[in-house]
Amino acid sequence: MTIALESTYDDALELLRERPLVVLTGAGLSTDSGIPDYRGPGSPSRQPMTYQEFVSGPAAQQRYWGRSHLGWSRMRGATPNAGHHALAQLDPTLLITQNVDGLHERAGSRSLVALHGRISEVICLSCRAVTPRAALQSRMSELNPGWVARHSSAATRPDGDVDLEDTTDFVVPACSDCGGVLKPDVVFFGENVPAARVQRCYDAVDALGSSGALLAVGTSLMVMSGFRFVRRAARAGTPVVVVNRGATRGDELATYKLEAGCSEFLAALVG
């Protein structure tokens, strides 16, 4: 079913139109909203904190929250871009996003799986209570007056993070219910995506068959949590279109691979 990767932009658009679609998005879709990605062309090498590091003790948690308090202050001001709005208009059978920024939801996408969770929610690792990030942000501001202003020059990183080395004086709040350790309710590297979440995505991909298509946009597919859906679709003979600036792990599985901007391509798809 594979067609030469040099096939044209218009051919890819024609393939996707009038078909049931599952769309998989990555960080490249949010760069037009001012949120940097991990692996786009020109992006510096960045290593996110792993789950194992986060739970290793107070020093790692202080480092995470000291940086995240700054980064989320910026991320929550981001707004959906033309690509987010185009996908909301497209309304695919299922939208699977690896992003935690919540911009798809804010743009109005309905049938959606936030594969890695949402940075706007916080979970206690002891009592498992889930609370709004905004409430924790207020508590951190009260405990760390002037923190945001003092570190305003720290460069923004993906997923609500910043480049900041010294966080030793940052005060980390505990769970207000049980005193436990608080973590953003997102899937860190080293954690597994909840099985029910993955199964919902598999079911949507399996239902496509050869008459539907999978569109992966703005993702390098280097992380297995997203790549597995591309691999599953290709094995079933479902057409796959990959739109990303730079090589991806799914290029050899793609019916069409396009080096194109996410917003530009999606706007053309719904236009």
> The CATH number of the domain where 210 resides is what?
3.40.50.1220
Which of 253-257's residues contact partners 24+ apart within 8 Å by CB, and which partners?
Answer: 253/2, 254/2, 254/5, 254/230, 255/1, 255/2, 255/3, 255/7, 255/15, 255/213, 256/3, 256/5, 256/7, 256/11, 256/12, 256/15, 257/5
Segments forming the whole domain that contains residue 17: 9-270
In this structure, is residue 149 part of a structural domain?
yes
In this structure, is residue 47 part of a structural domain?
yes
71, 161 Cβ separation under 8 angstroms: yes
Domains in the chain, number: 1
Model-level pTM? Answer: 0.89
In this structure, is residue 140 part of a structural domain?
yes
Residue 218, annotated as binding a ligand? yes
Catalytic residues: 116
In this structure, is residue 138 part of a structural domain?
yes
In this structure, is residue 3 part of a structural domain?
no
Pairing status of strand 256-258 against strand 161-162: unpaired
pLDDT per position as a tens digit, 14-62:
999 989 999 999 999 999 998 877 655 555 555 678 999 999 999 999 9
pLDDT of residue 46: 58
pLDDT of residue 5: 42
- Beta-carbon contacts of residue 271 (< 8 Å; ≥ 6 apart): none
Say whether pLDDT at 9 is over 70.
Answer: yes
* The dihedral formed by the CA atoms of 164, 166, 170 and 174, expressed in degrees to the nearest 10: 80
- In angstroms, the CA 75 to CA 62 distance is 19
Residue 201, annotated as binding a ligand? no
Residue 68, annotated as binding a ligand? no
Give which of 202, 188, 195 is closest to 238, Cα–Cα: 202
pLDDT of residue 271: 86
pLDDT per position as a tens digit, 108-151:
999 999 999 999 999 999 999 999 999 999 999 999 999 888 88
- Beta-carbon contacts of residue 160 (< 8 Å; ≥ 6 apart): 68, 71, 72, 74, 75, 100, 101, 119, 184
Residue 61, annotated as binding a ligand? no
In this structure, is residue 178 part of a structural domain?
yes
